[in-house]
Amino acid sequence: MVKYDDLSKKEEGEQHGEGEEMASVHEKLISPVADCAPEQPRNKVTVVGVGQVGMACAFSILSGNYADELALVDVLEDKLEGEMMDLLHGSVFLKTRKIVANKDYSVTANSRIVVVTAGARQQEGESRLNLVQRNVNIFKHIIPQIVKYSPNCVLIVVSNPVDILTYITWKLSGLPKHRVIGSGCNLDSARFRYMMAEKLGIHASSFHGWILGEHGDSSVPVWSGANVAGVCLKSLNPNVGTDKDQENWKDVHKQVVDSAYKIIELKGYTNWAIGLSVADIIESLVKNLGRVHPVSTMVKNKYGINEEVFLSLPCVLNSCGVASVINVTLADDEVAKLRKSAETLWNIQKDLKDV
């Protein structure tokens, strides 16, 4: 499928051919020194699914120079090849030499990170359980193949409903829980920080605030931790985030929850922000940074949760995956919300077939 190999193969054909006068430009131009056998990639990243989200992830990964090899996988062969070609044509402007694509998972071999964006979208009137079951069937095809070719990888699940699909991925992969991460509330928190920062007239990176728990409608904004330069908003306004708050800061969280729906309504899908946020996670993983991100991880035995569910908590990410979790002191109502989410997720997960 990688057509550009043809070009150099033609050269090699000539090398074993006739005589001096047929020596190729390649041979005349270049004197080999080292015997450069193809090396194993050190930071290979695979993106499964070349829809809008997958390609935005791919592009952000390339822009950030995090991978020495990028592999794309999908079932739509033409789209896959077209996307790969379009990226390759930008090589002069990039610093990732190897970009490959194939519907066969062998192309993903030896990946350090695999990002899963593939999956079915909710159809009109479809129940969540039904959507999840459909996605289980898709993941049953994808996950074992990923693990077969990259048994040591860290898996990042982006497809929705992300917390459930991260659980499914963990079950289907057989990987230890520190190597299966859901993009979770990383984007919600980024949106939160952006929106709060706008209101305060500062840059998003200088506003610190965490949204945890279930990605979606029941996410939990941890107002007690929201701060700028260590100054807790709650110390300035004890009602911040509550219904009693005259300044109605709580509305910002609502805007975060509504974000995706709003953008989908306006442009049909979201991709840029999620792509940037996934690349941000990958940066911590490949560079072994040990930065803390709100991502979906296995939370059994935390906050009184007894079920095997994945929810977003602040996780320290380094090259092994989730190295550790920060123990955030949550208010009673925040803990209650997490436990309720766990219960809801488990109610769906327990009825899934073949996981």
Partner 1 sequence: MVSKLITFHFTEYKRSKVTIVGVGQVGMACAISILQSNIADDVTLIDVMEEKVKGEVMDLQHGSLFLKTSKITAAKDYSDTANSRLCIITAGVRQKEGESRLNLVQRNVEVFKNIIPNLTKYSPNSILLVVSNPVDILTYVAWKLSGFPSHRVLGSGTNLDSARFRFLMGEKLKINSTSVHGYIIGEHGDSSVPVWSGANVAGVNLQSINPEMEQQDPDGWKEIHKKVVDSAYEVIKLKGYTSWAIGLSVSSLTQSILKNLRTVNPVSTLVKDMHGITENVFLSLPCILGSPGVCGVLRQPLQQRESEQLRKSAATLWSIQKDLKL
Q: State which residue, 91 or 152, has the beta carbon closest to partner 1.
A: 91
Pick the binder of partner 1 from 100, 129, 273, 289 (CB under 8 A): 273
What amino acid occupies position 337?
K
**Which stretch, 91-99, 152-160, 163-171, 173-181, contacts partner 1 (CB under 8 A)?**
91-99
CB closer to partner 1, 276 vs 316: 276
Among 68, 81, 214, 334, binds partner 1 (CB under 8 A): 81
CA 355 – CA 349 distance, rounded (Å) = 9
Residue 109 or 232: the one with the smaller Cβ distance to partner 1 is 232
Q: Is residue 336 involved in binding partner 1 (CB under 8 A)?
A: no
Tell me the three state secondary structure of residue 32. coil
Question: Does residue number 94 form part of the binding site for partner 1 (CB under 8 A)?
Answer: yes
Residues in the chain: 355
Q: CA-CA distances (angstroms) from residue 241 to 196, 206, 244?
A: 12, 19, 8
Distance of CA 182 to the CA centre of its chain: 7
Residue 221 is given by DSSP the state E
- The contact pattern for partner 1, residues 123-162, with x = CB under 8 A and - = no contact, is ----------------------------------------
Site string for partner 1, 5-44 (x = CB under 8 A): x-xx-xx--x-------x-xxx-xxx--------------
215 is catalytic: yes
In this chain, which of 221, 275, 294, 321 binds partner 1, going by CB under 8 A?
275
**Residue from 16, 141, 178, 215 carrying the catalytic annotation:** 215
Closest by CA to 168, choosing from 134, 126, 211, 124, is 134
58, 84 contact by CB (below 8 A): no
The reply on whether position 86 binds partner 1 by CB under 8 A is: yes
Nearer to partner 1, 64 or 144 (CB): 64
Asked if 156 and 296 touch (Cβ cutoff 8 Å), the reply is no
Spatial separation of the C-alpha atoms in residues 68 and 95, rounded to whole Å: 8
The tokens of 13 are what? 């054909």
Residue among 181, 202, 194, 208 at smallest CA distance from 310: 181
- Residue 293 interacts with partner 1 (CB under 8 A): yes or no: no
Compute how many other C-beta atoms are within 10 angstroms of the C-beta atom of residue 7.
8
Contact residue for partner 1 among 89, 125, 230, 333 (CB under 8 A): 89
Shortest distance, CB of residue 91 to partner 1, whole angstroms?
4
Residue from 224, 271, 284, 297 in contact with partner 1 (CB under 8 A)? 271
Which tokens sit at 232?
Answer: 């807790």
The separation between the first and the last C-alpha atoms of the chain, rounded to the nearest angstrom, is 33
**Which structure tokens are listed for 176?**
């230890």
Q: Is 7 helix (H, G, I), strand (E, B) or coil?
A: helix
Task: List the one residue from 272, 291, 336, 346 that touches partner 1 (CB under 8 A).
Answer: 272
Query: Cα(307)–Cα(329) distance, rounded to whole angstroms?
Result: 20
Q: How many residues bind partner 1 (CB under 8 A)?
A: 74
Among the listed ranges 85-93, 126-134, 135-143, 164-172, the one in contact with partner 1 (CB under 8 A) is: 85-93
Asked if residue 96 binds partner 1 (CB under 8 A), the reply is no
Task: Write out the binding residues for partner 1, residues 237-266 only, by CB under 8 A.
Answer: 237, 240, 247, 249, 259, 262-266
Decide whether 109 or 263 has the Cβ nearer to partner 1: 263
Q: What is the distance of C-alpha 261 from the center of its chain?
A: 19
The token pair that represents 162 in the structure block:
């992300």
Residue among 140 and 267 whose Cβ is closer to partner 1: 267
Q: What gap in Å lies between CA 284 and CA 312, rounded to an integer? A: 17
**Residue 91 in contact with partner 1, rule: CB under 8 A:** yes
Report the binding-site residues. 49-54, 74, 135, 158-160
Report the binding-site residues for NAD(+). 49-54, 74, 135, 158-160
Report, as residue numbers or ranges, the catalytic residues.
Answer: 215
